[in-house]
Chains A and B, each alone.
Chain A
Amino acid sequence: MKDAFGLPQSLLVLGGTSEIALATARRLIARRTRTVWLAGRPSPGLDEAAAHLRDLGAEVRTVAFDALDPDAHEDALGKVFAEGDVDMVLLAFGTLGDQAHDERDPGAAVRVAQTNYTGAVSAGLVCASALQTQGHGSLVVLSSVAGERARRANFIYGSSKAGLDAFAQGLGDALHGTGVHVMVVRPGFVRTRMTAGLPEAPLATTPEAVAAAVELGLRRRAETVWVPGTLRVVMSALRHLPRGVFRRLPV
Chain B
Amino acid sequence: MPADTVSVTGWGRTAPSAARLIRPRTYEEVALAVRECGARGGIARGLGRAYGDAAQNAGGAVLDMTGLDRVHAIDADGGTVLCDAGVSLHRLMEVLLPLGWFVPVTPGTRYVTVGGAIGADIHGKNHHVSGSFSRHVLSLELLTADGQVRTVVPGTPLFEATAGGMGLTGVILTATVRLLPVETSLMCVDTERAGDLDDLMARLADTDHRYRYSVAWIDLLARGRATGRAVLTRGDHAPLDALPRRVRTRGEPLSFRTSRLPAAPSFVPEGLLSRTTVGLFNELWYRKAPRARTGQLQRIPAFFHPLDGVPHWNRVYGRGGFVQYQFVVGHGREDALRRIVRRISERRCPSFLAVLKRFGGSDPGWLSFPVPGWTLALDIPASLPGLGGFLDELDEEVAGAGGRVYLAKDSRLRPELLTAMYPRLDDFRALRARIDPRGVFVSDLARRLHL
**A residues within 8 Å of B by Cβ?**
1-7, 9, 31-32, 85, 132-136, 177-180, 219-220
Given the complex of chains A and B, what is the CA–CA distance between A104 and B168 in angstroms? 63
Interface check B182, CB cutoff 8 A: no
Residues in chain B near residue A136, CB distance under 8 A: 16-18, 58-59, 444
Number of A-B contacts (CB under 8 A): 76
Decide if A135 touches B59 in the complex (CB within 8 Å): yes
- The one of B52, B387, B414 in contact with A32, judged by C-beta atoms closer than 8 angstroms, is B414
Q: Is the interface of B mostly helix, strand, loop or mixed?
A: loop
Decide if A179 touches B383 in the complex (CB within 8 Å): no
- The one of B7, B19, B57, B448 in contact with A3, judged by C-beta atoms closer than 8 angstroms, is B448
Given the complex of chains A and B, what is the CA–CA distance between A38 and B12 in angstroms? 33
Residues in chain A near residue B448, CB distance under 8 A: 1-3, 9
Instruction: Kindly report which residue of chain B lies nearest to residue A215, judged by CB atoms.
Output: B388
Interface check B60, CB cutoff 8 A: yes
Given the complex of chains A and B, what is the CA–CA distance between A178 and B58 in angstroms? 9
Some 17 contacts from A to B, beta carbons below 8 A apart, are A1-B444, A2-B448, A4-B14, A4-B412, A5-B382, A5-B387, A7-B388, A133-B59, A135-B40, A136-B17, A136-B18, A136-B444, A177-B7, A178-B7, A179-B58, A219-B383, A219-B388
Decide if A220 touches B383 in the complex (CB within 8 Å): yes
Distance (Å) between the CB of B385 and the closest chain A CB? 9
Distance (Å) between the CB of A32 and the closest chain B CB? 7
Distance (Å) between the CB of A137 and the closest chain B CB? 8
Given the complex of chains A and B, what is the CA–CA distance between A134 and B57 in angstroms? 9
Decide if A4 touches B321 in the complex (CB within 8 Å): yes
Instruction: Kindly report which residue of chain B lies nearest to residue A1, judged by CB atoms.
Output: B448
Distance (Å) between the CB of B316 and the closest chain A CB? 17
Chain B 1-29 interface mask (CB, 8 Å, partner A; 1/0): 00001110000101111110000000000
Given the complex of chains A and B, what is the CA–CA distance between A179 and B53 in angstroms? 13
Distance (Å) between the CB of B443 and the closest chain A CB? 9
Distance (Å) between the CB of A219 and the closest chain B CB? 7
B291-329 contacts to A (CB < 8 Å): 320-321, 323
B residues contacting the other copy or chain, number (CB 8 A): 32
Given the complex of chains A and B, what is the CA–CA distance between A106 and B207 in angstroms? 85
- The one of A85, A177, A178, A220 in contact with B447, judged by C-beta atoms closer than 8 angstroms, is A85
Distance (Å) between the CB of A189 and the closest chain B CB? 26
The answer to whether A5 and B17 touch (CB under 8 A), given A179-B7, A220-B383, is no
Decide if A1 touches B53 in the complex (CB within 8 Å): yes
Which 5 A/B pairs are nearest by Cβ-Cβ distance?
Answer: A135-B59, A179-B18, A135-B58, A1-B448, A4-B411
Residues in chain A near residue B414, CB distance under 8 A: 32
Given contacts A135-B19, A220-B320, 9 further A-B contacts (CB under 8 A): A4-B321, A4-B323, A4-B388, A4-B411, A32-B414, A134-B59, A177-B18, A180-B18, A219-B382
Distance (Å) between the CB of A87 and the closest chain B CB? 9
- The one of A1, A85, A133, A179 in contact with B16, judged by C-beta atoms closer than 8 angstroms, is A179
Residues in chain A near residue B412, CB distance under 8 A: 3-5
Decide if B411 touches A135 in the complex (CB within 8 Å): no
Residues in chain B near residue A177, CB distance under 8 A: 6-7, 18
Residues in chain A near residue B53, CB distance under 8 A: 1
Instruction: Kindly report which residue of chain B lies nearest to residue A135, judged by CB atoms.
Output: B59
Given the complex of chains A and B, what is the CA–CA distance between A178 and B19 in angstroms? 8
B393-423 contacts to A (CB < 8 Å): 411-412, 414-415
